[in-house]
Amino acid sequence: MTASPSPSQATEFRGPVPKNDKPLDEQQLQAQTWFATLRDNICAEFEAIEAEAGSDARFEYLPWDREQADDSSDAGPGGGGVRGLIKGKVFEKAGVNISTVDGAFSEEFAKSIHGASENPHFFATGISLVAHMANPHVPAVHMNTRFLCTTKRWFGGGADLNPPIPYEEDTNDFHARMKQACDPHDPEYYPKYKKWADDYFYIPHRQVHRGVGGIFYDHLELESDDDFARHFAFTQDVGRAFLDIFPKLVRRRMGLPFTAEEKEQQLIWRGRYAEFNLVYDRGTTFGLKTGGNVDAILMSLPPEVKWD
């Protein structure tokens, strides 16, 4: 594969894009460009919702650079990312982050990463989103998709709904849209990835699920030349499905009145969300173990939370 220019040289983006310290090959560039494009579309939609609610809240973008640890064989620049954050009338706190990083895992952490046990060098690009809503009737949500390269290359990601006050209609519509994204690629994807989400987004010490689920997939590996196009198309469809369904759910619920008791219920529920992300979430661990921006990694935590 041939090296390609940075997407910032080829495509106009709404917000900043991660800085590339090394040339990207064709697959890496296509993935990075898509994640930045998806970021732009999601942020524009979230701002449109804020405007409908009479708010002028906008995303603020903060680029960050990653440095390899001094004791790493790859000490020096290692890519970076852009944290996008909005705090408004509807979105109490929503973060939409993109990143492109490369370098070498520590010897111990490499053992836990697909394809890195024999060679610790890696490349990763992706988008990660968490939205905590002001109205407890509006579900919180998480979405991320990513492309990783070690001695193997693969896509992973998913989206899951986290309502403090669940509505069966919202849960059904969210799952139906995720299934619609999966079915054209493989009829076994949705039941498989739904179960994976149910198993993954579970808090063992509480013996409860984090939310009402969605889909979660990983290690969609590139074993042939055709696999990149197939798995990339699926990953794009997951992103488009999220962009289609979640704003519909927000608009459906954001005008509902709520009580002090319902807000209290939301704050206590957020404690479960924080516990999962700090104790069990693999993305949080990956970011912290690879020298990512701490504020960008922990943007998933809710702005206000209560343990009772």
pLDDT digits (tens, 9 = 90+) for 184-199: 999 999 999 999 999 9
The pLDDT score that the predictor gives to residue 5 is: 42
Q: At 26, is the secondary structure helix, strand, or coil? A: helix
Average confidence (pLDDT) over 117-137: 91
Q: In percent, how much of the chain has pLDDT > 90? A: 73
The pLDDT score that the predictor gives to residue 70 is: 45
pLDDT exceeds cutoff 80 at 6: no
Average confidence (pLDDT) over 21-45: 95
Q: In percent, how much of the chain has pLDDT > 70? A: 89
pLDDT exceeds cutoff 80 at 123: yes
The pLDDT score that the predictor gives to residue 66 is: 80
pLDDT exceeds cutoff 60 at 76: no
Global confidence as pTM: 0.90
pLDDT exceeds cutoff 80 at 4: no
pLDDT digits (tens, 9 = 90+) for 240-249: 999 999 999 9
pLDDT exceeds cutoff 70 at 74: no
Whole-Å CA distances, 113 to 71, 82, 124, 164, 289? 20, 24, 12, 33, 11
The pLDDT score that the predictor gives to residue 43 is: 98
Q: What is the CATH number of domain 3-300?
A: 3.40.1500.10
- Distance between CA atoms of residues 78 and 265, nearest Å: 42
- Distance between CA atoms of residues 265 and 267, nearest Å: 6
Q: Is the dihedral of CA 50, 130, 272, 251 positive or negative?
A: positive
Spell out the domain ranges in the chain.
Answer: 3-300
Catalytic residues: 142
CB under 8 A, 24+ apart: contacts of 52-60: 52/251, 53/88, 53/89, 53/90, 53/254, 54/89, 55/88, 55/89, 55/90, 57/86, 57/87, 57/88, 57/89, 57/91, 58/86, 59/15, 59/84, 59/85, 59/86, 59/96, 60/84, 60/85, 60/86
State the angle between helix axes of 26-52 and 225-253 in degrees (0 to 180), rounded to the nearest 10. 10
The pLDDT score that the predictor gives to residue 299 is: 85
pLDDT digits (tens, 9 = 90+) for 277-302: 999 988 888 778 777 788 888 888 99
